[in-house]
């Protein structure tokens, strides 16, 4: 069975985006090791998913057989996004750091896939993620924020939310704090990229 890859881009900078360039390289690395891999791409900046609201909450919490047409349309998109993650062996997430955290567009996607009794549930031992056997590669680029520093709210949030839905195998390819030393940041990202398991 061929490798299934889900690629998510969230930078608003288009072709000038450092996270997109590194994500391109990450996908190329995976395809080099798995030439027959299938790649599904979602550009969350060019084609953003809707923010969740009261209508979304009502739709996803209404049994499918009781939903209105409008509710079906809302829930169907959430179901589609979740199905893409569930089908993926690897999710590659391109993350530019904006104001010390992830872009709004990526946050909207996370909200769409975080569904009680679908991607997580609560039991006797607390929350349990329901997306199993999926890995994540987070390709992160930042100007002034160092990964794992006190002002890094991007990787800490992503680690928590990915783990919350069951994705606990998370690898980072990070070109962080590029304003301080761009060359060193890119060298570190390349080292992480070269070390990715095939």
**Could you tell me which residues are annotated as the binding site for FMN?**
11, 17-19
DSSP 171: E
Per the annotation, binding residues are 11, 17-19
Spatial contact of 141 and 175, defined as CB atoms under 8 Å apart = yes
Query: Smallest Cα–Cα separation from 10: which of 151, 158, 198, 191?
Result: 158
HSE value, Cβ hemisphere, 13 Å, CA-based, for 167: 27
Spatial contact of 161 and 4, defined as CB atoms under 8 Å apart = no
Cα torsion angle, 95, 100, 104, 109, sign = positive
Q: How many helices (H) and strands (E) does the chain have?
A: 6, 7
């Amino acid at each position: 069975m061929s490798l299934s890859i889900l690629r998510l881009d969230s930078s608003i900078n288009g072709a000038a985006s450092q996270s997109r360039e590194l994500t391109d390289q990450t996908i190329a690395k995976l395809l080099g090791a798995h030439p027959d891999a299938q790649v599904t791409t979602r550009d969350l900046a060019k084609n953003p998913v809707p923010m969740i609201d009261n209508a979304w909450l009502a739709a996803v919490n209404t049994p499918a057989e009781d939903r209105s047409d409008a509710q079906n349309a809302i829930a169907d998109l959430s179901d589609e996004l979740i199905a893409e993650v569930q089908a993926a062996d690897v999710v590659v997430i391109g993350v530019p750091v904006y104001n010390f955290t992830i872009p709004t567009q990526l946050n909207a996607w996370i909200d769409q896939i975080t569904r009680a009794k679908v991607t997580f549930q609560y039991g006797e031992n607390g929350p349990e993620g329901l997306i199993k056997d999926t890995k994540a590669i987070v390709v992160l680029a930042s100007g002034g924020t160092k990964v794992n520093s006190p002002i890094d709210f991007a990787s800490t949030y992503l680690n928590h939310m990915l783990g919350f839905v069951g994705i606990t195998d998370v690898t980072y390819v990070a070109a962080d704090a590029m304003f301080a030393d761009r060359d060193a940041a890119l060298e570190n990202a390349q080292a992480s990229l070269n070390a990715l398991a095939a």
